[in-house]
Amino acid sequence: MIIPSFWKRCSPFLLITAAICILLSTAYPWTAAAVSLENGITVNTRLQVNAGMVDEKPTIRLIHFDQAFSLIWRLNTQGWFPTWELALVSLGNPDVHLGTAMPAPDHAYDITLSYHQATGAVGVAVTDITTNQNIVSYAAAIATGLPLTEPQADGQLLTVVPQYEPVGVKWEVGFLEGGTFLASTALEPDRPVQVRLTAPNPVAGEYRIVMMQNGVEHLLATTIAPTSPTVIDLSAAGLPLGSSTFILQYKHGDLVKELGRKQLTIGKLQGVAPAIVTDFDQRRINLDLALNSDSILSGLTLTLQARLIPLEWQTESKSYVDGEPIIHEIPITIGGVVNHREVITVQLPLPERNALWRADLRLTADPDILVNVSLVNPYFTTGYSDKQLSDGRRFIRIGTYNILGFQGYPEDEAKKELGNLYELKRIEHFVEVISSLQTDILCLQEGANTFLLVEYARRLGVNVATFPTTTYFPGGIFSRFPILEVRPFNIPKTSGVPPFSRHGGAALLDVAGVPLWVVSIHAYPHEETVRVQEAAILADMIDELAQVSPYVIVGGDFNERIDGSLHRVLKERGFVNALEITGPMQPIDHLYVSPNLAGHIRAGWIVTENGFRLGAPGTGTWANSDHIPVLMELALP
């Protein structure tokens, strides 16, 4: 029953009298002399809030039964800061705090309170109808037998019904796992489903779970008004795949009241792809998509949308931004997935443009079940060049390797087989080790001494740039290409450990007519403060080198985690870690390329074959080093 707006101009006494007269004419008489609360009472009001109300009224009476029982919105000044709270207040009982929220000026609120005198069941629902936001949903049991008079409110009294309606009842749909209820918005058709119902003390009537399909209601389960909480068993078997509306109803006599709706999905599918694999010979990318479900899902039509997004480095903002995507739609047909993986191989044309790319996968299904798809490594590069080396190759191989002074690891075990550092057998062994990597450019750390670095370069038939050390860890760069210039790092004097005490330097190479800087570093392992100084020196050096050639590669032993100082100064300049794009990460050994080379990366990997990793099959009791090589193939710039 809605009171017309013109009644607002009447006195409170006339308004209450009119309301009583109108209610007398209904099927549910409500008067001071004829109050029947056997079945409870439900009151609905509407409150229009204005700024003056918030400023002038520290207590707003939402629904008020004289002094016996009230639902109020009040300003609580007991804490550090004043806060507005919603509370139930009744004679002889502690106040019940329902929630904290400030009444917003110019907002309208719908308020419903339902009370069952015999059992003490009470339900409250407060909704901001301006924003369609639920403020409070509460259901519990309080004192029974509270004396009630005509309801009053600071807002507009809409309806008064002498019947309990379980307002504020909470319900969740999900499943039990290990005795624990897990709420979910997606259900498995081959798995039992439960509804957890939280309601006050039992009252007359029953709760009904109904599914709405094509406008038709299908009754799934009923239960008498329970002792809270209770779990109702359902079965999703036979329910149609896709989105459905589940409805909670309360039925008592002729009253059928809807308490809430939930949009749920029958059927779940998880798709996982490890990475984009580039096939440069066939000019395509391959993607193995593993589909997983705990249920048999048949009759599905899937569509995979693959968005390939080029990433462009912006020097001004120091960030990569998305370019115009290439979008592919791929239909997928599956026979049925149950408790295992069904792997779908997808092939897409490799984009023609050299760039760093990010793949974004979206999987949709018909019927519309819940589908999630993830790509473990979403990045790939197109890595192609029109230029050729004299041997016809369009790419070069670059590596970094901490070779542990050519001593082997553990040293004592290697020495039994190779002899001392200068014996021919040892030198020939490590010549073969380096040759097996087939690198065009190799950054070496811990090279024993400059003499040995030069000797190994001579035997390998490559050029070498050596970098001095203040300790026992010199470094160098082996190159099949001409070395145009060598620049050791300029190390400032310090009272403590000098930065790059092991080594740091750059060599400018002539790669098929393109000037390419290669930087080799060996960072200090024991103190972060030293690596912070080293990072600043590296940053200055890169900025200096870029004035000569914008093409820069940095390789070496970083001796820190991927979020360390050295990594940060490189990424701030748009440098890309080859293994972050193409392969498994190494803890401390890395290869980075400048932004203009990011799209030229063809592959990156670590070498774990026989002899390179202690404990690998066939390695015996020692390995070549306590580090393993990191390699990268790069299309010619």
Structure confidence by residue, pLDDT tens digits, 118-154: 888 899 999 999 999 999 999 888 888 887 888 999 9
For the stretch 330-350, pLDDT in tens is 998 777 776 667 888 999 999
Please state, in angstroms and rounded to a whole number, the distance separating the CA atoms of residues 399 and 480.
13
Residue type, 608: T
Judged by DSSP in three states, 623 sits in: strand
Residue type, 210: V
Question: What backbone phi and psi angles, to 5 degrees, belong to 568?
Answer: -65, -45
Please state, in angstroms and rounded to a whole number, the distance separating the CA atoms of residues 378 and 360.
7
Instruction: Give pLDDT < 70 ranges for the chain.
Output: 1-36, 201, 225-228, 236-237, 338-340, 586, 616-619
Separation in Å, CA 472 to CA 14, 278, 448, 491 = 100, 41, 7, 17
End-to-end Cα, the chain, rounded Å: 79
What one-character-per-residue DSSP string does 142-171 give?
Answer: --S-------B-SSEEEEEESS---TT-EE
Please state, in angstroms and rounded to a whole number, the distance separating the CA atoms of residues 378 and 356.
11
Task: Report whether 338 contacts 191 (CB < 8 A).
Answer: no
Task: Report whether 430 contacts 624 (CB < 8 A).
Answer: yes
Residue 544 pLDDT: 95
Half-sphere CA count of 321, side-chain side, radius 13 A: 7
Judged by DSSP in three states, 439 sits in: coil
Residue type, 30: W
Structural domains present in the chain = 5-161 (2.60.120), 170-266 (2.70.50.50), 268-381 (2.60.40), 395-635 (3.60.10.10)
Residue 12 pLDDT: 40
pTM, two decimal places: 0.72
